[in-house]
Amino acid sequence: MKELSRVKPSIKILSDEEIKNIDRLSRDILTKVCFICEDEEAVAIFAGGGAKVQADGKLVYLTDKMIDDAVKASVPAVELHGRGGRSPLHVGGDNLYFGTTGFATNYLDFETGEYRQSTSEDVIEVMKLCEQLDPPDYILPSVGATDVEPDYADLYEIKAGMLYTSKHIEAQAKDIVNARKIIKMAEYIAGGEENLKKAPFFSFLVTLTSPLHHRSDSMQLIIESAKYGIPLFIESGPMAGATSPVTLTETIALANAELLSSIVLAKLVKPSAPVIYASWARVINMKNGNVSVGCPEFGMLRIATTQMGKYYNLPTGGGANLSDSLALDHQLGAEQCATSLLPALSGINMAQGMGLLAGMNAVSAETMVLASEVANYVKRIKDGIGVDMSCEGFDLIKEVGPRGDFISTDHTLTHFRKELWGRTIFDCSAVKGEKRHLETNVIKNAIEKKKKVMSKYKPIEVPAGAEAALEKIIRG
C-alpha cells in the first residue's frame, strides 16, 4: 500500500499574534528590566556583545539586536548521539523523543512498599532498566546517589550512564570543575577528544533560576559547552504564583526571557553552539505550597513554551510524563498520560520526566515501566493516520463484500503491526465471572515486565578498565 500522505494530530494554545506579544514582553524584560548575572566571564561576554552592564557589574541589559543575532545563528535541529551503533536522535522538526529526568532522592521500593533514600545501586539498576525499555529514547539520571558525598554525586550518576547504557545521556554538573571531569570521562569512553567532538554521546542540562537570576555555575556550563561543541539542553522552570506571576502569560514570557538570554550567551561564545530550547514552567499549589506537575496548567504551559521555541526555529524540550501522585495508581496514570499527550501534540521534540512520581521527588522502576507504556501510547497517537487513495483498499473491501470478515486476509496480516498499537502491560481482557477486575493488573504486569526486561540486560561495550579509569578522574 502506497501512502500518499499522513495526517497527524496537533494542538496550539497561542495564536500567532499572542506569540508575537509574548516575544515583545520577553524582550522588554531583557532590555528594560534586566537580569542578574553572577559570573564575571559571562558578564564580560554579554558586554562585549553590546549589552549594557550597570556599575555593580551584575545587572545586564540586552538589546533587541543581540536577541535577533542569537536567533538567526540558531539551527532548527540538533543531533544527539548514542553508542554501540545506535542511530542519532534527530531533535527537531516533528520528531518526538521521550526521556528520563532527575535527580529524585527518594526511591519507591515495590518489594517493601515503602519509600527510602535512593542509592548509587539504584542509579545503576534504573540505568540498566532504561537501557532495556523503549522508550526512553535518551537518559538523564532520574535517581540521585544519596550515599555518595554531595560534591561527587553528579559524577557517579553520569559514571553509571557511561558504564551501563548505550543511549544518549543528559548530564547535569554541580559546577565547572565537575563539568570538566564529565567531559574528561566522556573523552576516555569515546577514545579521545576528537572522537567525542565528532559524535558527542552526551549533552549538558543547564537549569536556570527564576526570576531573572543567572547563577555562576549555569553560566560557566553554557560557556564551557559552547566552546567544546557539546549540545546544550537549557531549561527555565519558573513557578506561577511563586517565582513568576501567577498569570500564565507572564510566566511564559518570563521563562522565554530567561531562555533567550542564555541562548544569547551561548551564541556569543560560539555561533554554531547546538542549543535546545526547553522549559519546566509550572505552578505552585496554593493549598499546600508544593510544586505541581500533574495539573492541567503544566501541560498547557508545555504547549505554549513549545510554540515559543518553534517561533524562534529552535528544537524544543521540557517536562512530560509526570505526576504528583505518591503511588502507582489511577491518578498517576491519568496525569502521566495528560502531561505526555499535550506536549506531544504541541510538537515538542524532547519530552522528559519518565519514572518520576510524587511531584518529581521520587522514582520507582515500576513507574518507569508504566511511563514507557504511556509514552508508546502517545507516540502512536502522534504518528497519526496514513491516508491512502490507491485502489488497494477499495479492491479489498470489494473482494470481502457485505457480511464478510477481514481477520483472515493477507492485508490484515501484513499491516496490523504497523497500524495498531500493541500494549505490553495495559490490560484489555474480557469480562469474566471471577473477581479478577478487583485486582490491580497493571501493577502486576509492570512488575513482571520489569523482571523480564532486566533478565535480558547485557553489559554494554566500554574500554577495558573503564570503571577504575572513571573513578580516578572523579577523585582526581
Output the pLDDT for position 302: 97
**Which amino acid would we find at residue 470?**
L
* Grid cell at residue 442: 497493571
d(CA 79, CA 199): 9
Set of cell numbers at residue 464 = 577495558
pLDDT in tens, the chain (476 residues): 455 578 889 999 999 999 999 999 999 999 999 999 999 999 999 999 999 999 788 999 999 999 999 999 999 999 999 999 999 999 999 999 999 998 899 999 877 889 999 999 999 999 999 999 999 999 999 999 999 999 999 999 999 999 999 999 999 999 999 999 999 999 999 999 999 999 999 999 999 999 999 999 999 999 999 999 999 999 999 999 999 999 999 999 999 999 999 999 999 999 999 999 999 999 998 988 888 999 999 999 999 999 999 999 999 999 999 999 998 888 999 999 999 999 999 999 999 999 999 999 999 999 999 999 999 999 999 999 988 767 788 889 899 999 999 999 998 898 888 888 898 988 887 776 666 655 668 888 999 999 999 999 999 999 999 999 999 999 98
CA-closest candidate to residue 262, choices 207, 197, 312, 307: 207
Determine what percent of the chain falls in helix, strand and coil, rounding each to the nearest 5.
Answer: 45, 15, 35
Residues belonging to the chain: 476
- The pLDDT score that the predictor gives to residue 29 is 98
| pLDDT score of 208 | 97
Q: What angle do CA 279, 97, 154 make, to 5 degrees?
A: 60
Residue 250 to residue 238: CA distance in whole angstroms: 10
Phi then psi for 206, rounded to 5 degrees? -115, 120
Question: C-alpha angle with apex 121: 471 to 441, nearest 5 degrees?
Answer: 150
Report the alpha-carbon distance of residue 242 to residue 228 in Å, rounded. Answer: 36
Share of the chain above pLDDT 70, in %: 97
pLDDT at 111: 74
The predicted structure's pLDDT at residue 436: 62
CATH of domain 72-384+466-472: 3.20.20.480
Q: Are 8 and 28 in contact (CB under 8 A)?
A: no
Geometric angle at alpha carbon 150, from 152 and 154, rounded to 5°:
45
Nearest Cα neighbor of 265 from 243, 304, 239, 232 is: 232
Query: Tell me, what's the pLDDT at 280?
Result: 94
335-340-346-351 Cα dihedral, nearest 10 degrees: 130
**Largest alpha-carbon pair distance within the chain?**
83
User: What is residue 1's predicted lDDT score, i.e. its pLDDT?
Assistant: 44
Specify the DSSP element, H or E, that contains 24. Answer: helix 16-28
Name the amino acid, one letter, at 220.
Q
- Going from N- to C-terminal start, the domains of the chain cover 72-384+466-472, 391-419
